[in-house]
Amino acid sequence: MKAVTFWQVLPAIGVFLYFLVGLLVFSARTVLRGMPHDREIEGRGQSVFINFYFRNFFIWIVSPLWRLLLASGVRANAVTGIAAGLGASSGIAVACGRFALGGWLFLFSGILDALDGRLARAHGEALPSGTIVDSVLDRYADSLMLMGLAWYFRGSWVLIPTLGAILGTSLIPYVRAKAEALGVPSPPGLMQRAERILYLGTALALTPIFELIAAPHERHPFPRLAAIGIVFIAVTTNVTAIRRFWHLINVVDGQRRKRPA
């Protein structure tokens, strides 16, 4: 990773400040008028790392984009395709060492992915095939991002946790799908897709800013914040996958023992 200057990270600082100021405004609004609730996103549940407060904040802060998409008449499938394209592009960006670009592309891919299903329902276009396409493209976007990181860190110790993150992110949806096929509800887990996008995307996007502060004179600073984010994702995704796997085994064995002989 090449040394960065203040002007190179200025766009990232601007986007970061938009969300930071938005969080302060949202918090003040919550205190004065109560927290706005989005029933659809609350219906998806919460986790240790993203509770209902931050899920409602997310929908509130991206509401200008949502209104723009709704008014533009753009189809939900087009938004799904754009989200997948941004996710794939983020993998290329990080493979080339452009962490800020890759992080923001990954985050905006996740934002669009959160809105495409909502847009389909608003236009009366929600179909089972759309859900399948969306889910498959999500897997591709996640995998390409992590593959890009694996390529960049191919000569570093960070390659090991990156491969671990690829394993964890692939196992989580597989175990969930297996549980759903057997009619067993999966526990929420520590690291679902929204959490992975938020924490990994933010770590990557803020890496140049962090390095500008931590190592302003290094010509080729090591992307420390990116490495921390990858290790965090590797650990939490595999913990989530193992926890769901163990839950599934216990429930299935329990059901078998309850059957009459």
CA distance linking residue 114 with residue 120, whole number of Å: 11
pLDDT at 131: 77
Q: Please report the pLDDT score of residue 158 as a whole number.
A: 95
Please tell me the predicted confidence (pLDDT) of residue 219: 73
Tokens standing for residue 246: 């163990």
Superfamily classification of domain 6-251: CDP-alcohol phosphotransferase transmembrane (TM) domain (1.20.120.1760)
Q: Give 155-172 as a DSSP string.
A: TSTTHHHHHHHHHHHHHH
Q: Environment class of residue 224 by beta-carbon count within 10 Å: exposed (0-12), middle (13-18) or buried (19+)?
A: middle
Find the radius of gyration of the CA atoms of the chain.
Answer: 20
**Residues acting as catalytic residues:** 138
CA 47 from chain center: how many Å? Answer: 13
Question: CA 180 to CA 158: how far, in whole Å?
Answer: 34
Q: Where are the domains of the chain?
A: 6-251
Which parts of 145-214 are beta strand (E)?
none
**Maximum distance among all Cα pairs of the chain, rounded to whole angstroms:** 73
Contacts of 151 (CB under 8 A, 6+ apart): 95
Record the pTM: 0.85
pLDDT in the model for residue 182: 77
Helix, strand, coil shares of the chain, percent, nearest 5, are 75, 0, 25
Q: What is the pLDDT along the chain (261 residues), one digit of tens a residue?
A: 655 666 666 777 788 888 889 999 999 999 998 888 888 777 776 676 778 888 889 888 988 888 898 888 888 888 889 999 999 999 999 999 899 889 999 999 999 988 888 888 887 776 777 778 888 888 889 999 999 999 999 999 999 999 999 999 988 888 888 887 878 777 666 677 888 899 999 999 988 888 877 766 777 778 899 999 999 999 999 998 888 888 888 887 776 666 655
Q: What is the pLDDT of residue 258?
A: 64
Place of tokens 């985050």: 107
Residues whose CB is less than 8 angstroms from the CB of residue 103 and which lie 6 or more positions away in sequence, other chains included: 90, 94, 200, 201, 202, 203, 204, 205, 206, 207
Instruction: Find out whether 172 and 241 touch, Cβ atoms under 8 Å.
Output: yes
Both tokens assigned to 234:
């590797």
* CA atoms of 148 and 67, how far apart (whole Å): 33
Q: How far apart are CA 151 and CA 169, in angstroms?
A: 17
